[in-house]
Structure 1
Amino acid sequence: MSFADFSILKLLANTIDILLVWYVIYKLIMIVKGTKAVQLLKGIFVIILVKVASDKFHLQTLGWMMEQVLLWGFLAIIIIFQPELRRALEQLGRGRFFSRTANQEEENQEKLVESIAKAVDYMAKRRIGALISVERETGMNDYIETGIQLDSKISSELLINIFIPNTPLHDGAVIIQRNCVAAAACYLPLSESPFISKELGTRHRAALGISEVTDSITIIVSEETGSISLTKNGELHRDLKAEAFKDMLSNELLVQQKIKQTSSGLWNWRGKKNG
């Protein structure tokens, strides 16, 4: 083997090594995205900056303190996040640490669409006002924290019960995160657009407001008319029939998910299953 061949192989190995490390870091960021672990990582980053600054300006006492915090902090992290680490190791053992299978994700999204469509159809027929926002890429934790956290599995029965009038959670928005009902009675930002019809109430303004600052899909059921509306990307789609609403929701949550899976399929460990 020539020296040139050896150099090419070494360059190829280094490139693969860098890409794998990048991919692992990216997936870890996706795992902690939208969780309390993000705040912990921010705290660690601040401590590291303080440590670097103390070394640069020869602040020995402060530097020693930061060194002890980093030394014992990682042990504390292992203890605090023991359940999450155990769950991650279990997923690694099943070969699903880095990604869910395409079939699993599709089944979850189908269940989400069916649950929302069934609940919305029920509430629309009975003129039960509702506001449901589905998180996508943009995190909605800031808005989740304004409500009552539930962390419950999605079901049409749960959604209907939440919005029954005169119950503790009916006033406000339900936010769905990772196919679970994350919280209810949440406050969403109201749109300040001057082009909104004055006949639209607070629910529609809140739905438009959240669609202007996130990529979420938000569904509104009017308490006065029982009409179904949907907002996305700052657009309001009003007076949808039940079938048209379900088709639009499926297109946003199922079709778009399949496109995303197809584009990232080459990066998955197990690949996309047929069917």
Structure 2
Amino acid sequence: MPFADFTIMDYLSRIVDILLVWYVIYKLIMVIRGTKAVQLLKGIFVIIIIWMFSDFLHLNTLNWIMERVIDWGFLAIIIIFQPELRRTLEQVGRGKIFLRSGINEDEERKQMVDSIAEAVNYMAKRRIGALISLERETGMGDYIETGIPLASKLTPELLINIFIPNTPLHDGAVIIQKMQIAAAACYLPLSESPFISKELGTRHRAALGISEVTDSLTIIVSEETGNVSVAQNGELHRELSKEKFHQLLTKELINDNKANPASSTRWKRRGKPKNG
């Protein structure tokens, strides 16, 4: 249809069409964010670039190989992305993929902060070592996969019970994702910074390590002193009082979320945190 013959309805239908396509792409990205599928997608883009490059320079053999890879790529994507595709279809079936996260998100975040603060204060008084990492913008799917999946409602009682000494899940990190306990006994990467105080144990090194490669907020309770620390952006806030700890959680998880509504709540060798 010639451009001059377009009606207002034609313009509107095309705008809606483009917006819907972008919305679906955005939702799919949200589904695979923080999983190994992100790295695989990067590999696919590299293959496409090599194919275009070989075609441009008339590298016939390389171009033929890339064409065969792309020809079979659709089947390979189905096989490789099977867990992500299954999760997406499940969310579509439940109608969750097209819904905004809860209307009462602020209230849920307040409950999450209160639950974490209550559990941490209890463990700090009794010198129960703990390591709790909260996922933010950067996905932590790879680290969640190293632990025992729980997908449980966040309650102070459950958090405390996980870290009781000599229980199967106490040795490792708990990762909180989307206001749920995603997994326990997770491996986190140890920081290799030479500036870390030698008096700090493996829990603190793991907390700093994950804060160096993600934007997570990681809480440490020392089993030797009962002190509460928080690692963020490669920095360690040590020996926080009950009040300062609650204020920090409120600022980072509630106030910052209001200031940035788009926000939601990789690499090197992994070390299993033990003593803090």
Which TM-score band (shorter chain)? 0.7 to 0.9
Contact map agreement 2:229 2:237 (CA 8 A) in 1: yes
Question: Is it true that 1:134 corresponds to 2:121 in the alignment?
Answer: no
Question: Is it true that 1:32 corresponds to 2:32 in the alignment?
Answer: yes
SS at match of 1:127: coil
Gaps of 5+ in 2: 264-276
Aligned equivalent of 2:91:
88
Q: CA deviation at 1:11?
A: 8.5
User: Structure 1 241/67 Cα, relative in aligned 2: closer, same or farther at 3 Å?
Assistant: closer
State the TM-score, normalizing by the size of structure 1.
0.72
Contact map agreement 2:37 2:81 (CA 8 A) in 1: no
Contact map agreement 1:173 1:188 (CA 8 A) in 2: no
Aligned residue identity for 2:182? V
Contact map agreement 2:190 2:202 (CA 8 A) in 1: no
Deviations 1:66-97 (A, max 9, x none): 57635656776898767534433245xx5x53
Deviations 1:210-269 (A, max 9, x none): 2222211010111111111111112221221223211211211111112221x68xxxxx
Q: CA deviation at 1:23?
A: 4.3
Contact map agreement 1:190 1:202 (CA 8 A) in 2: no
User: Structure 1 85/152 Cα, relative in aligned 2: closer, same or farther at 3 Å?
Assistant: closer
User: Structure 1 62/174 Cα, relative in aligned 2: closer, same or farther at 3 Å?
Assistant: same
Q: Which moved more, 1:5-14 or 1:173-182?
A: 5-14
Contact map agreement 2:229 2:238 (CA 8 A) in 1: yes
Gaps of 5+ in 1: 265-275
Deviations 1:21-67 (A, max 9, x none): 44442332122112354466457657767877898766698678657
Aligned residue identity for 1:184? A
Aligned equivalent of 1:272:
none
In the comparison of the two structures, how many residue pairs are matched?
256
Q: Which moved more, 1:20-29 or 1:208-217?
A: 20-29
Q: CA deviation at 1:198?
A: 3.1
Q: CA deviation at 1:204?
A: 1.8
Contact map agreement 1:189 1:210 (CA 8 A) in 2: yes
Contact map agreement 1:150 1:184 (CA 8 A) in 2: no
Aligned equivalent of 2:151:
152
Q: Which moved more, 1:236-245 or 1:58-67?
A: 58-67
Aligned equivalent of 1:219:
219
SS at match of 2:238: strand
User: Structure 1 64/232 Cα, relative in aligned 2: closer, same or farther at 3 Å?
Assistant: closer
Deviations 1:152-197 (A, max 9, x none): 2122222212211112222222222222333324233224142x33
User: Structure 1 186/80 Cα, relative in aligned 2: closer, same or farther at 3 Å?
Assistant: closer
Aligned equivalent of 1:250:
250
Q: Which moved more, 1:126-135 or 1:54-63?
A: 54-63
Question: Is it true that 1:186 corresponds to 2:194 in the alignment?
Answer: no
Deviations 1:121-144 (A, max 9, x none): 110111101111111112223333
SS at match of 1:190: coil
User: Structure 1 83/25 Cα, relative in aligned 2: closer, same or farther at 3 Å?
Assistant: closer
Aligned residue identity for 2:122? Y
Contact map agreement 1:50 1:66 (CA 8 A) in 2: no
